[in-house]
Amino acid sequence: MDDSHTNSFNKPAWEEQLIRLNGWARGLEISEDDAAFVSARKKASSERFLEGQAEWNIWAQGMLAACKMLADAGIWSTVRVWNNELALARCLGQNDETVRWLSLAVTDFTDHVFKEVVDAKGFIFPGEVYFTRATFNGASDFQTAQFYNVVSFKETRFNNDALFRGAQFLADAEFRGAHFVGRSSFAGGTKFLADAWFKAVVYQRPTSFRRAQFSSFADFEDAVFQSHVGFSDGTRFERVKFDKAKFYGKVWFNEAFFAGNASFSSAHFYRGKIPISDTGEVLTEDLSPEFSGATALKAFSLDGAKFDLLPNFTQFNFSEVKWTPSIGPPEPIS
């Protein structure tokens, strides 16, 4: 640590700057254990959200600037700790200044019901974000949003279309147990730079991860795809698990890139239905699971996987394959 930077850090001025950005917190004890503070923060998140992208991002950029001041002074200090209740790894502050910043940067919509369309396109989220168990009754647009810290959509319900095209997740992204009733899209170069948790997610309508980038671990175990889904055209997985996932529609993994271990153990690829586009166009009549042109550099496991139709592995570049799938007649969809 450079003591000259630390000695030049003006703590009272920095704290005042932080409070100006979060006027709702003036006079409150900034503590996760203080009910009044947590309640006020949740209300502030909602009010700021309604002001739209411009006002939201002014606050976010101010918070990021305050964080940079701590980093430049050598004061910023965190440790990554797994939280069992939230089922994700949180960054916890190791000194008063870092703890203070982290508490004020939180966006909290836990259990919130969004009755109208949500337009969060291009929003910058500097701190932790919680949409845990939230309900989106209208369409939700998070395209090109930037999540600098952990984000939780755990057990969130999207009753309409949900768009995350081009979004960037710089820390753990938690979607475990979420339910997508409408169409959803994580296509267009959406980046997951840390772990991405999609375990036991239900996708009722078509979804796309086309060209998405998973730079750490991606978990789709027990996920249910009730319509067609695409992980094609350069979707990149560092490590991924689709164990026990159920694919009831056409699935595309053509030209996907598996850099690390990939597992589809006990996954079931059903015969499914012919995929139809938004305009009513038939996308293809070939319902075979599509893996053509994909690349797997390390272990690729299909141990116990079941295919109702013969999959297409034309020009699939394998390195190490565990292949004991079952191919047989389709079973009824339960």
What are 69-91's pLDDT values in tens digits? 999 999 999 998 888 877 778 88
Closest CA to 183 of 167, 198, 171, 165: 165
* φ, ψ at 54 (rounded to 5°): -60, -55
Query: So what's the pLDDT on residue 206?
Result: 95
Q: What is this structure's pTM?
A: 0.91
* Cα(11)–Cα(312) distance, integer angstroms: 62
Query: So what's the pLDDT on residue 204?
Result: 96
Q: Burial code of 208-238, b = ≥16 C-beta within 10 A, e = fewer?
A: bbbbbbbbbbbbbbbbbbbbbbbbbeebbbb
* Cα(24)–Cα(223) distance, integer angstroms: 40
* Cα(19)–Cα(24) distance, integer angstroms: 8
Q: Domain boundaries in the chain?
A: 3-78
How many CB atoms within 10 Å of residue 59? Answer: 17
Contact present, 171 and 151 (Cβ < 8 Å): yes
Query: So what's the pLDDT on residue 318?
Result: 84
Query: So what's the pLDDT on residue 180?
Result: 98
How many CB atoms within 10 Å of residue 75? Answer: 20
pLDDT in tens, the chain (334 residues): 455 455 689 999 999 999 999 999 999 999 999 999 999 999 999 999 999 999 999 999 999 999 999 999 999 999 988 888 777 788 899 999 999 999 999 999 999 999 999 999 999 999 999 999 999 999 999 999 999 999 999 999 999 999 999 999 999 999 999 999 999 999 999 999 999 999 999 999 999 999 999 999 999 999 999 999 999 999 999 999 999 999 999 999 999 999 999 999 999 999 888 888 777 888 888 899 999 999 999 999 999 999 999 999 999 998 766 666 566 544 443 3
* Cα(17)–Cα(323) distance, integer angstroms: 59
Residues in the chain: 334
Q: Burial code of 179-206, b = ≥16 C-beta within 10 A, e = fewer?
A: bbbbbbbbbbbbbbbbbbbbbbbbbbbb
Query: So what's the pLDDT on residue 175?
Result: 97
Alpha helices, DSSP H only, in the chain?
3-8, 11-21, 35-50, 53-72, 96-104
* Cα(250)–Cα(252) distance, integer angstroms: 7
